[in-house]
Amino acid sequence: MESRRPGGSRSRNSMPPLSSCMESRRPGGSSNLHVAVEFPSIIDQAPQRFFSQYSSVDVCRHNLPHLVQPGVVLFVTFRLADSMPKQLLRRWQEDRAAWLSLHPEPWDESTRDEYSNVFLGKVEEWLDAGHGDCALARSDCHSVVAGAIEHFNGERYQLHSYIVMPNHVHVLMELAAVESLPKVIHSWKSFTAKAICRATGKSGAVWQRDYFDRMIRGLEHYRHCLNYIRANEQQMMK
């Protein structure tokens, strides 16, 4: 799994050995399901894997634009279909459409940051309010999501940290060079949706169709995202 350049330095797009990927930190002695799972040996290597303005960026389009740069750490959020009340979602979509009309692409770095702070930050605030049925508060549903996220760790992607909350999931990760973020997210959602429907006895959409992602731009941004995941755990322990 590990490629090397002359002189023994690891390629930026290589994946660490699988043995190191499995060294995760899970807080012990707590009955709280919603713990921040971390991979310390991977976190120590994170500064090698931040966004570079000198490298190319791929744009994947779904309902939202997704910017991906190979080998860069990503902060990804995806949520249950009922996690945001329709009236809030409608207002968010209207505000976003108005903002996009005033900020046509391509965006510079400051414009991308403004988009993230205004629109992705608002979504995270609403998710933390705990709307919807919160199916992931059930141990069976929670376990299947956590298992799906870790299943291909060290192969298709490398996890740095993640947390499964009652109605949404945060993942700090990097993709293997040949992988696509939309495909990885789709595989998580497709597998877990069937299991959640069986567990809850409900039918219909389980996950919101799209997801939110940000490329990590530096050590400060990385620490902020890592601490944000930890703060979600602390919030559930209150």
pLDDT tens across 77-128, in order? 999 999 877 777 788 788 888 998 999 887 887 887 888 778 777 777 777 7
* Distance from C-alpha of 218 to C-alpha of 93, rounded to nearest angstrom: 29
pLDDT above 90 coverage of the chain, percent = 45
Position 64 pLDDT exceeds 90: no
Q: What is the pTM of this model?
A: 0.74
Contacts of 153 (CB under 8 A, 6+ apart): 21, 22, 159
Percent of the chain with pLDDT over 70: 75
Considering only residues 196 and 97, tell me which one the structure prediction assigns the higher pLDDT. Answer: 196
Please write the tens of the pLDDT for every residue from 27-38: 444 557 899 999
More confident residue, 52 or 32: 32
* Mean pLDDT of the region 146-172: 96
Is the pLDDT assigned to residue 162 strictly greater than 80?
yes
Please state the rounded mean pLDDT for residues 205-212. Answer: 91
Q: How far apart are CA 35 and CA 25, in angstroms?
A: 10
User: Over 80: is that where the pLDDT of 220 sits?
Assistant: yes
> Looking at residues 134-161, what average pLDDT do you find?
96
Buried b (16+ CB within 10 A) or exposed e, 199-213: eeeeeeebbbeebbb
Q: Spell out the residues 6+ positions from residue 165 whose beta carbon is closer than 8 angstroms to its own.
A: 34, 127, 128, 136, 232, 236
Mean predicted lDDT score pLDDT of the chain: 79
At 13 the pLDDT is: 39
- 64, burial (CB in 10 Å: exposed 0-12, middle 13-18, buried 19+): middle
* Cα–chain center distance at 162: 7
Mean pLDDT of the 66-84 span: 81
Q: How many residues does the chain have?
A: 238
Output the pLDDT for position 109: 78
117 token code pair: 């702070």
Q: Which domains does the chain have, with CATH numbers?
A: 18-85+132-236 (3.30.70.1290)
